[in-house]
Each structure stands twice: as structure tokens, then as C-alpha cells.
Amino acid sequence: MAIINQEKCTGCKSCLILCPDKAISFQKGKCSVDEQVCTECYVCLRHNICPNGAFEPTELDTFIKQFQHVISDPATSHGIKKGVSGRGAEEVKTLDVVARIKRGTVSISIDMGRPGLGVYLRDVEKVAVALIRSGVEIPPGDKSPLGSLMPDRTTGKLLPEYLNYHLHSLIMEGTFPESQLPVVLKGLKEVENEIDTVFTVGLVMYVDKNCYNSALDCLDDLNIPKPHRGKVNVGLGRPLAAE
């Protein structure tokens, strides 16, 4: 984590508005970093936000501190696959060229947290448990950052000692049959009132020539507005996939 050298800090407070997770506070004429709120995003270090150079790095000496850093700093690769960086796996980044999703299958992407708010892993766990109970399969740790925190992916539970760690944001991904879509969305609607952050839901699925998939009819029953925007992958260069 970054710390503020109190001898170099002049109390100018210029850093307060530049921390995306509001982890910096001003007390008794000096600024300091709250370890419980800091997400290890390194914005303060990468952009040299202190005119006096008071920010100094400390060693990321545990797995969870390294996890915080690589998930919260988009400039750092998380090591699951060379060249893949950021808050999630390569799932939704490459669907248009790898033919991973077959007809009748949905790929879901849950984007949790936002700058200025972040997400604690205790809330990530609640959403992960709701997904798995609804029939979503979350990729293992060698394919997904979130999977590396789960000793048993059939429960969605994270290691207890990780629950109070704060992240800038996190993307969790998984797949499930189209027939489970109403159950999955209902589970997410129930858990949204139990967490202290925000999340958005992305669905990747096949549509017909009219951009329609009957599985989305359940949105009306669940009182969820139908999406009016999206990304269409035309599949140029995509390998042929067995149906």
C-alpha cells in the first residue's frame, strides 16, 4: 500500500480529491492513507499526485494485498494469462473470436463497485453465493481472478480472512443454461438489497436475425427494463463451432 511520509507532507490537501476510493484523510495538519479503505490501485504513485513526493510504496507481502493491487490497477497483469489485465478474466473480452458460448447458453458478467465507492469482498461473496445457488458456474482460479479466492467453487464462499478487503471494482463472470435466466436474475434482485455497493449485469447470448431471444421475455415478469443498448459481435474471424 502507499503511505504518506509525514515529514514530507505539508498538509496542502491536494491529494484528497485525487484518490478514486477516498482513502486519504486530513487530520491535525497532515494527510494519511486509511489501510482499510485503500484498494492498492496505485493512482497516487503512478501519477505522482503529491507535489512534495510524500507518497511512498510499501511491500505487497501477502497474496491478498497483491490481489488487491492487480485487480484495482488496470496497468498491471493479473497473471492468469499473459497480456490479460484488469478486474476480470478474458471471458467477455474474447467471445467474438473464440466461440466459447454455444446456443442455449448465457455468459453473465457482474461488474461490482465504482470509483469513489469500491466494493468489499464480503459483498462480492454475497453475490457469488447468489449466482451459484441459481445455477451459474464460475470459472476456476486459473481462468478467473475471483475463482482464486474460493476454496470451493460450489458454494461461492471466499476465505473468511479476505472478506474485509476493499477493491476498486471487480468483474465476476460465469455461464449457465438459458432456461435458468429467470432464476439467476431473481437471485440478483434479492441480493442487491443486502450489499453496500452497486453492480451492473451484462448478458452474452445468441439472438436471431431480429436481435431477439425468447429467454429475455422473463424480464417483464421480473419488472426489469429490457436493455436498449448492447454490443453486437459479428464473429469476423471466429472459428466454426459445433452447435
Neighbours of 183 (CB within 10 A): 15
In a domain, 22, yes or no: yes
In the prediction, which pLDDT does 81 show?
46
Same domain, 26 and 96: no
The verdict on 51 and 85 lying in the same domain is: no
What number is the average pLDDT over the span 164-171? 91
- Report yes or no on 102 lying in a domain: yes
Q: What's the pLDDT score for residue 89? A: 54
Q: What is the pLDDT of residue 75?
A: 74
Answer yes or no: do 123 and 199 share one domain. Answer: yes
Q: How far apart are CA 194 and CA 14, in angstroms?
A: 35
Reported residue count of the chain is: 243
Find the mean pLDDT for residues 19-30. 93
186-230 pLDDT, tens digit each: 999 999 999 999 999 988 888 888 888 999 999 999 999 887 776
> Is 173 within a domain?
yes
- Which residue from 45, 48, 44, 52 is spatially nearest to 10, judged by alpha carbons? 52
Q: What is the mean pLDDT of the chain?
A: 85
Q: What is the CATH number of the domain that holds 86?
A: 3.30.70
Angle at 79 between CA 42 and CA 3, to 5 degrees: 20
Q: Which residue carries 478487503 as its cell?
A: 165
> What amino acid is encoded at 209 in this protein?
K
In a domain, 2, yes or no: no
Q: Which helix (H) or strand (E) holds 107?
A: strand 105-112
Say how far apart CA 94 and CA 62 lie, in whole Å. 31
Using 50, 70 and 90 to split pLDDT, how confident is the model at 80? very low
Verify that 50 and 85 share a domain, yes or no: no
Q: What is residue 241's predicted lDDT score, i.e. its pLDDT?
A: 54
Do the Cβ atoms of 84 and 145 come closer than 8 Å?
A: no
Answer whether residue 170 is part of any domain.
yes
**pLDDT tens profile 81-139:** 444 555 555 555 555 556 667 789 998 989 999 878 899 999 999 999 999 999 999 98
Query: 130: burial class by Cβ within 10 Å (0-12, 13-18, 19+)?
Result: buried
Q: Which three cell numbers mark 84?
A: 490479460
Q: For residue 164, what pLDDT is reported?
A: 95
Sign of the Cα pseudo-torsion (138, 144, 146, 150, in order): positive
DSSP letter for 191, please.
Answer: H
Residues 28 and 111 in one domain: no
Q: Which domain holds residue 118?
A: 81-221
Q: Count how many domains the chain has.
A: 2
Give the three-state DSSP class for 158: coil
Q: What is the pTM of this model?
A: 0.85
Helical H runs in the chain?
43-46, 63-72, 95-98, 121-133, 181-191, 218-221
pLDDT: which is higher, 67 or 239: 67
Q: At 51, which CATH number? A: 3.30.70.20
Is 30 in the same domain as 115?
no
* 3 state SS of 147: helix
Residue 161 covered by a domain: yes
Identify whether 21 is part of a domain.
Answer: yes
Cα 205 off chain centre by: 20
* Chain Cα centroid distance, residue 56: 26
pLDDT for res 206: 83
